Amino acid sequence: MTVEHDIADIGLADEGQLKIEWADRQMPVLTRIRERFEKERPLEGIKIAACLHVTTETANLMRTLATGGADVALCASNPLSTQDTTAAGLVGAYDIPTYAIRGVDETQYYGHLKAVLDRKPVITMDDGCDLVTMLHQQRPDQLKDVIGGTEETTTGIIRLHAMEADGVLGYPVVGVNDALTKHLFDNRYGTGQSAIDGIIRATNVLLAGRTVVVCGYGMCGRGVASRAKGMGADVIVTEVEPTRALEAAMDGFRVMTGRAAASQGDIFVTVTGNKHVLDSEHFELMKDGAIMCNAGHFDIEINLKALRSMASGSRRVRQEVEEFSMEGDRKVYVLADGRLVNLAAAEGHPAAVMDMSFANQALSCEWIAQNAAHLEKKVYPVPVEIDREVARLKLETMGVRIDELTAAQKSYQEGWEEGT
Ligand code: ADE
């Protein structure tokens, strides 16, 4: 009997399974964890509700949790990021209850979150905090049964800290994004590559010789800027935080205000986590042919409402490209409806980098299960031992060997007596 689900087409299960297995080959750390989970079953009987991008990499995380004994159900964390083949593979080949269809409207999207909450989870796994928000706002009676949660993104963790500060956070949550083996790699190399991948798949434009404006120089922005530069683009960075702006300048990028960049850019990528980073004042200055996209979690970074009201008309010119007719006989373009371009127009971060992010997720779940009794209702970092273990395993599976400190070096590092 097939597990409960709401997916586009179960007939895609075989294709989905092949793709999930393909990604798994690039996820050796998660595979090792899965092998240990199979023997130790650390999540036996634990109900987990996961709200993540439904990709092949996520599918391998779900398999790992299920192999560890968890009763896991998955819904999508974005209406446009679901791979329908993967959703079918999860249901058809791995018996994981999955509620996700690419292109759902808002009602269906939230309906899927409700479906996983109906299963009365004791652990939540979120990407962007939508599931946690729904649980707190609409199902406060369920909070007492939840022993903990994990959160994947910067945006989600900011919300969780706000909830903790307001005294409303109902259970402990591990902020996976803040692990070094997550954000140094996933945010930088993952977003760096997959955002460029999404822009190219959506448009097939040449980056060499173009001016790419990267709005935001956090870990994700750094990745996008460095990859665009590597492909021959002239990169401008805009940033509101002085230290980051300085870093961008010393990394060799032109740094200026959004308004100054607006008339120069051929391609704009927002990666700030904030709203209306590209707004009317920028749209009116943009060149004919300018392309805008977003690689931040929510679709609020480009003010689409303002753009629609300024445009005399719009039409879809390619699957993920909408053209807006602007004053002065200019056309400007928005990719993937302003949603995460790397997931909506491409396949998200490559598996090799999600390997580390999802290893942190799996081990954090195990840690919650082991430590639930003494955790408080606050945001916890991923324990440093887990973070280091993920780095160690990744290096090992890459065949990279590193030195160890000698006894003399260790005592030098720990002491204070030795001087010049
Ligand atoms: N976020 C970015 N890329 C992802 C991927 N491939 N799978 C799940 N979540 C992601």
In this predicted model, what pLDDT tens digit does every residue of 347-356 receive, in sequence order?
999 999 999 9
With a 6 Å cutoff on the Cβ, whether 86 touches ligand 1 is no
Tell how far the Cα of 194 is from the centroid of ligand 1, in angstroms.
Answer: 9
- Kindly report, residue by residue over 256-289, the tens digit of the pLDDT: 999 999 999 999 999 999 999 999 999 999 999 9
Summary mean pLDDT of the chain: 97
Give 69-96 pLDDT, tens digit per residue: 999 999 999 999 999 999 999 999 999 9
Cα separation values, 159 from 52, 54, 56, 315, 364, Å: 16, 22, 27, 35, 19
* Beta pairing, strands 321-326 & 330-335: antiparallel
Residue among 208, 184, 178, 207 nearest 195 (CA) = 207
Neighbours of 221 (CB within 10 A): 29
Alpha carbon separation from 376 to 81, 155, 388 (Å, rounded): 33, 22, 24
Euclidean distance between CA atoms 71 and 262, whole angstroms: 49
Phi-psi region of 306 (alpha: psi -120 to 50; beta: other; left: phi over 0): alpha
| Dihedral over Cα of 134, 140, 145, 150: its sign | positive
DSSP 8-state secondary structure symbol assigned to residue 240: S
For residues 303-331, give the mean pLDDT.
98
Written as six digits, the tokens of 306 are 């303002």
- Domains contained in the chain, CATH given: 5-182+349-398 (3.40.50.1480), 189-344 (3.40.50.720)
Residue of 396, 414, 392 whose CA lies nearest to 405: 414
Residue 57 Cβ inside 6 Å of ligand 1? The answer reads yes
Ligand 1, pocket-test mutation among 354, 357, 360, most atoms within 8 A of CB? 354
Confidence of residue 373 (pLDDT cuts 50, 70, 90): very high
Instruction: Decide if 155 contacts 296 (C-beta within 8 A).
Output: yes
pTM of the model: 0.95
The helix (run of H) or strand (run of E) holding residue 52 is strand 47-52
Give strand pairing partners of 236: 213, 254
> For the chain, percent helix, then strand, then coil, each to nearest 5?
50, 15, 35
Best mutation site among 53, 125, 152 for ligand 1, i.e. most ligand atoms within 8 A of its Cβ? 53
108-133 residue pLDDT tens: 999 999 999 999 999 999 999 999 99
CA of 269 to the centre of ligand 1 (A): 18
Task: Indicate the pairing of strand 47-52 with strand 71-76.
Answer: parallel
Dist. CA 354 → ligand 1 center (Å)? 7
Q: Is 349 in the pocket of ligand 1 (CB under 6 A)?
A: yes
For the Cβ of 19 lying below 6 angstroms from any atom of ligand 1, the answer is no
CA distance 132 to 21: 30
> What tokens were used for 18?
């092949």
Evaluate: CB of 53 within 6 angstroms of ligand 1.
Answer: yes
Q: Is 58 in the pocket of ligand 1 (CB under 6 A)?
A: yes
Looking at the chain, the whole-number percentage of residues with pLDDT higher than 90 is: 98
- Cα–ligand 1 centroid distance for 55 (angstroms): 6
